[in-house]
């Protein structure tokens, strides 16, 4: 009996070693295939959530709904007034850019995605979204919300993708600190969270001109890393402190996006 | 019953991994996601054989890693070590005692993340670690350990529903009745 146990153990150990030493590409393919087993459950959870939302909507008093409609109607009217003005400004901008020889920035092409799962391990920060290759997603596309940057796509399967969030060491972001007049104050790299337990703050490392960095200043993406477009809001400076006996300074940044309360994100398509 | 038990355990492992990745209420509340698999492995190793333990380690570990950024296969090793160790000393363990379940649950839930992290670091991974990791480890150990008696209760109920009802024989025998009084 014991001999059979050891034999079985040996088989499983060999299998585990083989799996652990698979090439990254094969391991990723294998992971995506295994993860697709959960798709029916994800679908079921999504449907359940929708039903719950519908049930919740059904009990909202008519008075509140009318109030919301009125508010939205007013916002819509305001936006309609602003739209021709913005269109005219865009036209002027394109005309002047063409005259000066500026490269035209392409129109914002985004796709809305729903968060379907979070990493079950405590030591990674990533989520899975319900868009995949069939929706045109590929690795390294930036992901954001209306408030700011969320992270980047790290793995893509046919129907879903993994998004590694800001603060995870595998998602370094080159960032720029700007003052109230939108002037560049300093640059750095966001590579780690400020603390393990909070998903609100991250650390901005490798500051060059730390004395000019002040609390409240805006932190946005710079295009130095090559992955993220310039100017996406990341958050704002909370404080700056010296580390390594004052040789370098690290700033704590309060993220614009609440990572632990994400439901929907936008993937910025090429 | 043994095959059914294995099937139930694997099905529960699948659902447990899904629950861990889909429902983050506890993570939002205390900043920790509890790992449900080590406690299930304690139940499996106390109630089933080595085949079930091996299947749970491989399937549970692979499912967990598929939804995680872990290197594929990392979660198999801790589960296998826990299951095999308990199997080796199974004859010495008081399997029906809640106290035993709790102690084994705490030990397994505390050990699994440590070994997983050691493997990740040895393969050059960069997990997010800091002082908060101690809190996460403590919460995983305590809450994970408390799950073992819950699993036992759950499976006992399932088998009570699915199995034949046990006939409890009374000590009273009608043919041995002593008739008292005048006849």
What ipTM did this prediction achieve? 0.83
In whole angstroms, give the CA distance from residue A257 to residue B163.
52
Asked if residue A83 has pLDDT above 60, the reply is yes
> What's the Cα-to-Cα distance from B103 to each of B9, B93, B99, B171, rounded to whole Å?
21, 11, 6, 37
pLDDT at A104: 61
Chain B, 99 to 128: residues with Cβ < 8 Å from chain A are 113, 116-117, 119-120, 123, 126-128
Q: What is the per-residue DSSP string for A37-56?
A: GGHHHHHHHHHHHHHHHHHH
pLDDT at B8: 93
Is A116:A42 a contact under the CB 8 Å cutoff?
A: yes
CB–CB of A118 and B15 under 8 A? Answer: no
**Residue-by-residue pLDDT tens, chain B, 183 positions:** 578 889 999 999 999 999 999 888 888 888 899 999 999 999 999 999 899 999 999 999 999 999 999 999 999 999 999 999 999 888 888 888 899 999 999 999 999 999 999 999 999 988 999 899 999 999 999 999 999 999 999 998 988 888 777 777 777 777 776 767 765
Phi, psi of B107 (to 5 degrees): -60, -45
Structure tokens at A249: 């300074």
Nearest to A175 by CA among A223, A239, A242, A125: A223
In whole angstroms, give the CA distance from residue B113 to residue B120.
10
pLDDT at A241: 87
Please compute, for residue B123, the number of CA atoms within 13 A of its CA located in the half-sphere on the CB side.
19
Phi, psi of A33 (to 5 degrees): -65, -45
* Pairing of β A248-255 and β A126-129: unpaired
User: What are the b/e assignments for A11-34, b being 16+ CB within 10 Å?
Assistant: ebeeebeebbebeeeebbebbbeb
Q: What's the predicted TM-score (pTM) here?
A: 0.85
Chain B, 127 to 146: residues with Cβ < 8 Å from chain A are 127-133, 135-136, 140
Give the minimum alpha-carbon distance from B136 to chain A in angstroms, rounded to a whole number: 8
Q: What percent of chain A has pLDDT over 70?
A: 97
The angle formed by the CA atoms of residues A261, A158 and B124, to the nearest 5 degrees, is 65
Which of A17, A34, A123, A125 to mutate against chain B (most B CBs within 10 Å)? A123
Chain A, 11 to 40: residues with Cβ < 8 Å from chain B are 11-13, 15-16, 19-20, 22, 27, 30-32, 34-35, 37-38
pLDDT at B116: 95
Structure tokens at A15: 């299998």
Quick check: helix, strand or coil at residue B168? Answer: coil
CB–CB of A16 and B77 under 8 A? Answer: yes
What's the mean pLDDT in A236-263?
A: 87
Q: Which of A16, A20, A124 sits opposite B68 (nearest CB)?
A: A124
In whole angstroms, give the CA distance from residue A155 to residue A268.
15
Looking at residue A217, the DSSP 8-state letter turns out to be -
* Pairing of β A173-178 and β A161-165: unpaired
The angle formed by the CA atoms of residues A104, A107 and A110, to the nearest 5 degrees, is 145
In whole angstroms, give the CA distance from residue B77 to residue B70.
13
Please indicate if any CB of chain A lies within 8 Å of the CB of B34.
Answer: no
> What's the Cα-to-Cα distance from A78 to each of A68, A71, A72, A73, A154, rounded to whole Å?
15, 11, 10, 9, 39
Nearest to A16 by CA among B71, B125, B87, B8: B71
> What's the Cα-to-Cα distance from B137 to each of B60, B109, B134, rounded to whole Å?
20, 9, 5
pLDDT at A106: 57
What's the mean pLDDT in A11-24?
A: 93
CB–CB of A119 and B69 under 8 A? Answer: yes
| Number of residues assigned to chain A | 270
Asked if residue A152 has pLDDT above 90, the reply is yes
pLDDT at A101: 73
What's the mean pLDDT in A157-165?
A: 92
Q: Name the band, by pLDDT with cuts 50, 70 and 90, for residue A248.
A: confident
pLDDT at B101: 93
In whole angstroms, give the CA distance from residue B66 to residue A38.
10
pLDDT at B57: 95
Q: How far apart are the first and last CA of chain B?
A: 54
Considering only alpha carbons, which residue of chain A is nearest residue B56?
A: A12
Phi, psi of A241 (to 5 degrees): -140, 145
Mean pLDDT of chain A: 88
Phi, psi of A240 (to 5 degrees): -125, 135
Give the minimum alpha-carbon distance from A85 to chain B in angstroms, rounded to a whole number: 43
């Amino acid at each position: 009996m014991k001999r059979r146990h050891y034999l079985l153990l040996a088989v499983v150990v060999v299998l585990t070693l083989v799996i652990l030493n698979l090439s990254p590409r094969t391991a990723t393919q294998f992971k995506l295939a295994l993860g697709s087993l959960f798709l029916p459950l994800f679908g079921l959870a999504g449907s359940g959530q929708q039903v719950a939302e519908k049930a919740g909507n059904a009990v909202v008093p008519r008075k509140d709904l009318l109030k919301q409609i009125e508010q939205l109607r007013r916002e819509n009217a305001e936006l309609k007034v602003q739209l021709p003005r913005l269109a005219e400004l865009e036209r002027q901008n394109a005309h002047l850019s063409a005259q000066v020889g500026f490269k035209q920035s392409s129109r914002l092409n985004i796709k809305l995605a729903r968060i379907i799962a979070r990493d079950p391990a405590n030591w990674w920060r990533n989520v899975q979204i319900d868009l995949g290759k069939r929706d045109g997603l590929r690795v390294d596309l930036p992901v954001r919300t209306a408030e700011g940057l969320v992270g980047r796509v790290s793995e893509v399967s046919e129907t879903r993708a993994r998004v590694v969030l800001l603060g995870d060491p595998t998602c370094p972001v080159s960032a720029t600190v700007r003052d109230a007049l939108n002037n560049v104050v300093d640059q750095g790299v966001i590579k780690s969270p400020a603390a393990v337990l909070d998903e609100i703050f991250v650390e901005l490392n490798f500051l060059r001109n730390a004395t000019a960095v002040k609390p409240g200043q805006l932190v946005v993406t710079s295009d130095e890393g090559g992955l993220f477009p310039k100017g996406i809001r990341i958050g704002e400076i909370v404080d700056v402190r010296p580390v390594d006996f004052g040789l370098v300074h690290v700033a704590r940044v309060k993220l614009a996006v609440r990572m632990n309360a994400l439901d929907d994100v936008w993937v910025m398509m090429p | 019953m043994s095959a059914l038990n294995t099937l139930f355990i694997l099905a529960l492992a699948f659902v447990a991994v899904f629950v861990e990745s889909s429902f983050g209420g506890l993570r939002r509340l205390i900043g920790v996601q509890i790992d449900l698999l080590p406690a299930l492995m304690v139940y499996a190793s106390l109630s089933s054989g080595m085949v079930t333990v091996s299947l749970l380690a491989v399937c549970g570990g692979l499912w967990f890693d598929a939804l995680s950024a872990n290197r594929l296969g990392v979660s198999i090793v801790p589960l296998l070590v826990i299951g095999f160790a308990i199997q080796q000393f199974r004859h010495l363990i008081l399997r029906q005692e809640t106290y035993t379940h709790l102690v084994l649950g705490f030990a397994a839930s505390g050990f699994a993340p440590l070994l997983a992290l050691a493997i990740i670091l040895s393969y050059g991974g960069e997990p997010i670690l800091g002082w908060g990791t101690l809190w996460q480890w403590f919460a995983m150990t305590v809450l994970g350990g408390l799950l073992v008696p819950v699993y036992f209760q759950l499976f006992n109920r399932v088998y009570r529903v699915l199995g034949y009802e046990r006939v409890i024989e009374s000590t009273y025998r009608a043919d041995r009745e002593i008739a008292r009084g005048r006849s």
